[in-house]
Amino acid sequence: MTKKDLPKYVYNDRGYLRFIRRSRGQSVMMKEEPGTPEFWEHYNRLLKGREPVLAKRNFETLILSYYESEAFKKLKPRTKSDYRKYIGHVRAIWGTKDPAKIEPHHVYELHRANAEHWRQANYLVQVMVVLMNHARLIGFLKKEHGNPAKGIPLFKQESDGWQPWPDDVRAEFEAVATPRARLVYELCLGTGQRIGDVLKIRWGHIKDGAYDFTQGKTDKPLWIPLTDRLKAHLATVEKKGLTVITDKQGRPVRYRTVAEEMRKVKGDMEHPDAATYVTHGLRKNATIELYLAGCDDEMVKAVTGHSGVEMLKKYGGQIRQRELATRAQDARNRFEQNRKET
């Protein structure tokens, strides 16, 4: 049922009907079937303000309060979507439970129950930390209770993260990719940015041979000179719209559309493992190439926008260690040579 079919102040709220009248502080769930006499009777009582606001101390109320908070509203759209996904899981299992009765062992058990998918399990704990912080802000938890989700040991990443594309996979992809898939590939590789930021690149962001933008995930402003390879490829691309990556009509393209196109290209490739390499792995390729070119950590971060060395270790891996060790030993050799000459 759409909003058009509902009376004033009644909204669909993630599978529920809810009467919301902010001027009176009303937010009441309506369980009656829309259009029935019981529904209209309840609705008329709410219009007259005869029903008090439900203020049960449970996760259902906590979650709805968090969704109305400035902290949630300030999140990036992608982060909001992720939060809603995991908060929905918490809501489904603990919706009627009092947050004050949650103890660390409950969160620990929740974490362990999702161990098969370690990344999702860790995200659940992180979302619980956020929810329980909000619970303290609205008085659902007392200060002495602390945050029961803090300190839960997270699962360690089982690998060094997304794998960089090997040379043979890259060579075949470059040979068979559709023009748009190839453009996405070149932009991810050339700028070292996440696919979400690459899809937002406008021709107006590229001036004097550099890409000037603000990262979506970090809000970090970056100015990145384009590589000669990327400049050459962009010179072959027709400018159909405001963004560099477009559909046939010159309109911006959604992430899902591009992801499906990239998967299809890799799925049709002869390389047996092509489909296992994801687009985000090209960000790792860019990081490795920067280290191989002799860049130090600060230079790499200036291009990729990584916030710390720990993340660079995941992306640069052994290449980073080898390059740093080689430069260190070269410096040591020069020192020894200078000492012998003096």
Nearest alpha-carbon partner for 195 in 120, 264, 256: 256
Q: Which token pair is 36?
A: 């029935």
Q: Which secondary-structure segment (H or E) carries 12? A: strand 10-13
Most confident of 136-145, 193-202, 288-297: 193-202
* Structure confidence by residue, pLDDT tens digits, 259-269: 999 999 999 99
The whole-model pTM stands at 0.63
Residue 264, SS3 per DSSP: helix
Q: What is the pLDDT of residue 143?
A: 76
Question: Quick check: 58 and 97 in contact, CB under 8 A?
Answer: yes
Integer Cα distance of 22 and 298 in angstroms: 49
Integer Cα distance of 215 and 305 in angstroms: 8
If DSSP states are collapsed to H, E and C, what string results for 109-147? HHHHHCCCCHHHHHHHHHHHHHHHHHHHHCCCCCHHHCC
- Each as own residue / partner, the long-range contacts of residues 258-266 (CB below 8 Å, 24 or more positions apart, any chain) are 258/180, 258/181, 258/184, 258/195, 258/199, 259/195, 261/178, 261/180, 261/181, 262/181, 262/184, 262/185, 265/173, 265/176, 265/177, 265/178, 265/181, 266/173
Q: What is the pLDDT of residue 50?
A: 57
Residues 6+ apart with CB under 8 A from 194: 215, 216, 217, 280, 283
Whether 145 has a pLDDT exceeding 80, the answer reads no
Q: What is the pLDDT of residue 308?
A: 77
The residue among 56 and 132 whose pLDDT is bigger is 132
Residues 6+ apart with CB under 8 A from 328: none
* Structure confidence by residue, pLDDT tens digits, 222-263: 999 999 999 999 999 999 999 999 999 999 999 999 999 999
Q: What is the pLDDT of residue 66?
A: 92
Q: What is the pLDDT of residue 18?
A: 86
Percent of the chain surpassing pLDDT 70: 96
Average pLDDT over every residue of 270-276: 93
The residue among 160 and 68 whose pLDDT is bigger is 68
Integer Cα distance of 246 and 240 in angstroms: 7
C-alpha count within 13 angstroms, C-beta hemisphere, residue 171 = 4
Average pLDDT over every residue of 87-108: 93
Q: What is the pLDDT of residue 53?
A: 45
Average pLDDT over every residue of 175-190: 97
Q: What is the pLDDT of residue 87?
A: 94
Q: Which CATH number fits domain 167-327: 3.90.400.10, 1.10.8.290, 1.10.443.10, 3.40.50.11030?
A: 1.10.443.10
Question: Quick check: 197 and 245 in contact, CB under 8 A?
Answer: no
Q: What is the pLDDT of residue 107?
A: 95
Most confident of 29-43, 51-65, 139-153: 139-153
> Domain residue spans in the chain?
3-47, 59-145, 167-327
Whether 34 has a pLDDT exceeding 50, the answer reads yes
Q: Which token pair is 50?
A: 């005869």
